Amino acid sequence: MSAFEPTPFGIPSDVGGKDLGIFLPIANGGWILSKNKPELDGSYAYNRQCAVLAEEAGFDFIMSMSKFRGYGGETHHWDSSLDPVVLMAALAEVTSKVKCWTTVHTILQNPAVVAKMLATLDQVSKGRAGLNVVTGSYKGEFSQMGAWPEGVDHDARYDLAQEWITAIKRLWKEDSVTMDGKYFQLDECESWPKPEKRPFLVCAGSSQRGMRFTSEEMDAIFLSGADPEELAQASHDAKADAAGIGRYVRTYSMMTIVFGDTDEEAEATAKHYAEGFDEGALHGMMRAYGFLDAEIGKENAFTKKSRSSFMSAYVTGSTQTVIDKLTELFAVAETDGLMLIFPDYLTGIPKFGREVLPVLRERFPGKVKVGNHG
Ligand SMILES: Cc1cc2nc3c(=O)[nH]c(=O)nc-3n(C[C@H](O)[C@H](O)[C@H](O)COP(=O)(O)O)c2cc1C
């Protein structure tokens, strides 16, 4: 424990246990690119129900992403999305236990604005606030609003993020901050109120630079990795990188859960989604990811993988199979948590909460709390 960096609030960052959360469907379509999936409209009404259900089911956190441009296609995938900060403030008010993590793009918001937003969310949520820090990866999403920093490449965007979060952390603690950075300048800048608990900080950077940023500044990292062995390696690398500089980061991954009464039924459901794959939305996603027009429409490893229609790792099966697969995942990968996605959250959250969550809690005990909040 002594190797772990105390937070500015003097609380150790290792609290053990597994953090189970919900990736809120704040954009229409959720994380399945298919015409055959249940309708997810990305509305406040739907997300509010998800938050209340997540709280009732005993999940640890709910998180919303930040998205400014969708992928189109027949399903208009992600063309409509809510603002994650306003949303989480509202959801904090209708919940009392579940942690509320929002997302902010470092290239869009001045750090003094975000320091105040999160201090406000800390008050509204009574200490349940968290922030997913994203640098912004897709040019079109930001150039459409004249906010793409030309000449600032991928790694430099993490340099910018580092200055940004440094400024925010200082504003949360210090009476007045003066900082002459390359990207941000603060001149006796004041920010009140201070958060009572330092908001939990997560990042999903998968590049080397993103991982280093996370090691230095964050409490947790979201890793991608579909199979437990791959994830184990990624988790080990992330923890080793942080330990190398005397810090500890919790490691999380994402998983879509497709339940069925039997394994066959769940597999048939997944197949049905794949059959309704939205090719147009895939093209939109590829354009956003920076594929050249000439490559769009051709088959490659990316399109092949995408054709399952699932945008994240997924498991299909009966309750027992889901329990077995997630048990194996945690046992092999030794990650600290999982953020879940459901095709239909309104049935998926309560079912998982009733049938799977208690078993995972029993198998992987620990103080079921998130990160640095003690
Ligand atoms: C769980 C998770 C949540 C993410 N949320 C967002 C988001 O809300 N907005 C966004 O632009 N990117 C988001 N990303 C993308 C990451 O922030 C990151 O840019 C991406 O994983 C590539 O890593 P890199 O930046 O190190 O290259 C997310 C990724 C994951 C795995």
State residue 16's pLDDT score.
62
Between residues 300 and 316, the one the model is more confident about: 316
State residue 2's pLDDT score.
30
Say whether pLDDT at 3 is over 70: no
Cα(205) to centroid(ligand 1), Å: 6
Say whether pLDDT at 64 is over 80: yes
State residue 367's pLDDT score.
54
Least confident range from 26-30, 130-134, 169-173, 282-286: namely 282-286
Mean local confidence (pLDDT), 183-208: 97
Nearest CA to ligand 1 atom 27: 207
Cα(188) to centroid(ligand 1), Å: 32
Residues 78, 29 contacting (CB under 8 angstroms): yes
Nearest CA to ligand 1 atom 5: 65
Cα(242) to centroid(ligand 1), Å: 19
Band of the pLDDT at 296, cuts 50, 70, 90?
confident
Say whether pLDDT at 192 is over 70: yes
Cα(203) to centroid(ligand 1), Å: 7
Cα(260) to centroid(ligand 1), Å: 30
Give 8-33 pLDDT, tens digit per residue. Answer: 333 334 456 899 999 999 999 999 99
Band of the pLDDT at 210, cuts 50, 70, 90?
very high
CA separation, residue 252 to residues 118, 202, 270 (Å): 22, 10, 24
Please give the mean pLDDT across all residues of the chain. 92
In percent, how much of the chain has pLDDT > 90? 87
State residue 18's pLDDT score.
94
The token pair at 350 is 């309560």
Amino acid code (one letter) for 156 = A
Report helix angle 84-93 to 44-57, nearest 10.
Answer: 50
Nearest CA to ligand 1 atom 12: 134
Nearest CA to ligand 1 atom 20: 205
Residues 34, 276 contacting (CB under 8 angstroms): yes
Mean local confidence (pLDDT), 226-234: 93
Check pocket membership of 40 for ligand 1, CB cut-off 6 A.
no
Give 235-256 pLDDT, tens digit per residue. Answer: 999 999 999 999 999 999 999 9
Band of the pLDDT at 226, cuts 50, 70, 90?
confident
Burial of 115 (0-12, 13-18, 19+ CB in 10 A): buried
Nearest to 51 by CA among 86, 88, 84, 82: 88
Mean local confidence (pLDDT), 62-69: 98
Band of the pLDDT at 91, cuts 50, 70, 90?
very high
Say whether pLDDT at 200 is over 90: yes
Nearest to 265 by CA among 322, 345, 309, 310: 322
In percent, how much of the chain has pLDDT > 70? 94
Say whether pLDDT at 4 is over 80: no
Report helix angle 44-57 to 345-355, nearest 10.
Answer: 0
CA separation, residue 364 to residues 180, 212, 260 (Å): 46, 28, 24
Say whether pLDDT at 371 is over 60: no
Nearest CA to ligand 1 atom 1: 222
State residue 12's pLDDT score.
38
| Among 69, 102, 103, residue to substitute to test ligand 1 (most atoms within 8 Å of Cβ) | 103
Read off the pTM. Answer: 0.94
Check pocket membership of 103 for ligand 1, CB cut-off 6 A.
yes
Check pocket membership of 222 for ligand 1, CB cut-off 6 A.
yes
CATH class of 19-363: alpha beta
Cα(39) to centroid(ligand 1), Å: 24
